[in-house]
Each structure stands twice: as structure tokens, then as C-alpha cells.
A and B are shown apart, each in its own frame.
Chain A
Amino acid sequence: MNALVIALRNDPAELTRLAGLLAGFAQQHEIGGADVLAVDLALHEHVTNIINYGYNDAEPHEILVRLRLQDRALFVEVEDDARAFNPLERPPADTTVPLDRKPIGGLGVHMLRQSMDDLAYRRARGKNLLLLTKRLS
């Protein structure tokens, strides 16, 4: 199968399980280490943001991660029922700013942008859908 659906709870402990499942999928499909690292980083940052900042309650919620390998690209869709949040509305960070003047906040979204080739967001039926694309090297 060139696809995998992962259902996560909104619990930080799930991030380790997500990384393990991604690594297994990558190994099965012989995806290169640098590409896996980039997707691992982007997914970690996005799902962390959802879990830590997305919910107005302390109830359990489901976050769905769909991996699909097609035409030498890995497509990752993340679906959650957290508050509406479009990371693409954040202005891109300037990576040339020296360390002394880099902003400390917003690093997660910055790393998400930097590690992926393409990001697309939509809000539908009360859910956030973020499609992350990594063209494989």
C-alpha cells in the first residue's frame, strides 16, 4: 500500500508514536533519510501546535494524518477539529536575520514552512485540513 492513515489523540505522547509510524512507512517505501527528516520535523511541529494550542477544552480529540506516496512525492494531510488556524497566514521568517535578532516565537510554523516543498490549507465542516507536500529526492 502506498498510503497510511494514522489516528492520533490530542496527547503529546502520541508524537513519538507518529514519528515511529512515519519511519516505518518511509522504510517500507525506501524514502531517503533527508526527506523523512523533513517530513518528521514538519509533522512534529504542526501536530504539536494543534495539541498544545488548538483546543478550547480538555476533552479527547482525534487528529488524522494521511500519508500518500505518489509520483515521487509524499503527500501528508493533517485533519483536526481544533480552532481554525491557517499557518500560511503567518508571514514567512527571514532566515538571513542574525541570531541576535531572530524572533523566539513562531519557530514551529517557520520550521514547517522551511521543511516542506508545498503547503495548502483549507477549513471545511469545522475542521482544519493542511496538505503538506514533499517531493522526494
Chain B
Amino acid sequence: MPITKITSVDNWELTVPGRIDGAVANQLEIEILSAIRAGAKEIFINLSQADFICSAGIRVLLQYYRQMKNNQKTLLVTRPSPNITSILDMTGFKDLIVANTRPRT
């Protein structure tokens, strides 16, 4: 299943379904870079439909979380599925999750 995106001016939501392995992590990086180039100030990675994320996926999230933060912008994970919550919690990355359900519509 492809990554889907919803954009609202400077607010982007990327929904990544299924298994986030190395290949999907590469696709996600391309989509994030596209959003950054388009001037996104907030990027939310919706993982409600994802059931697995490997280190390559977490590396992409961490790298662009930092890049966005250094530019006073935001990249966070929203609506993680139970599996994603479990993996991020187990590996010490649960702070990548934002509690609310943005982006706003």
C-alpha cells in the first residue's frame, strides 16, 4: 500500500500503512523531503495503519524530527497502532509520538 498524504497549507499528514521495512523507510524519507521542500511547518506521520517499524524507519523519523526541530518546525508520529506503540516504547522512542490527533482539518 502506498504512503498517502493530506496537506493543508503548511501542515502535512503522511499515512504509512503496513510494514515499515527498509524499502518503505526510503519511500517515507522521500515523502518527508518533498514536504520540507514544499515548506511544511508541521509534518505528522500517521502510523495508525502500520503494524511494524524497523530501525531504518525509526532512523528516518529521528533524523527529520531533529532537522525540523532545529528549524523551529515539527515532525511527530500520530495515532500509532498498538504494534507501533509497543516498538517505540520498547526501544525508547515513545517521545516521537504526539498525544493529540492533529493535523487540524
Chain A interface residues (CB < 8 Å from chain B):
12, 15-16, 19, 33-34, 37-38, 40-41, 44-45, 48, 93, 95-100, 102, 104, 107-108, 110-111, 114-115
Q: Kindly count the residue-residue contacts between A and B in the assembled complex, taking CB atoms under 8 Å apart.
A: 67
Which of A41, A93, A96, A108 has the most C-beta atoms of chain B within 10 angstroms of its own C-beta? A41
Bound CA–CA A67/B59 (angstroms) = 29
Partner of B90, one of A98, A102, A104, A114: A114
Chain B interface residues (CB < 8 Å from chain A):
19, 21-23, 52, 54-56, 58-59, 62-63, 65-66, 69, 83, 86-87, 90-93, 95-96
Q: What does DSSP make chain A's interface, helix, strand, loop or mixed?
A: helix
Q: Given the known A-B contacts A48-B22, A114-B90, are A99 and B96 also in contact in the complex, defined by CB atoms under 8 Å?
A: yes
Chain B neighbourhood of A16, CB < 8 A = 19, 21
A111 contacts B91, C-beta separation under 8 Å: yes
Chain B neighbourhood of A34, CB < 8 A = 86
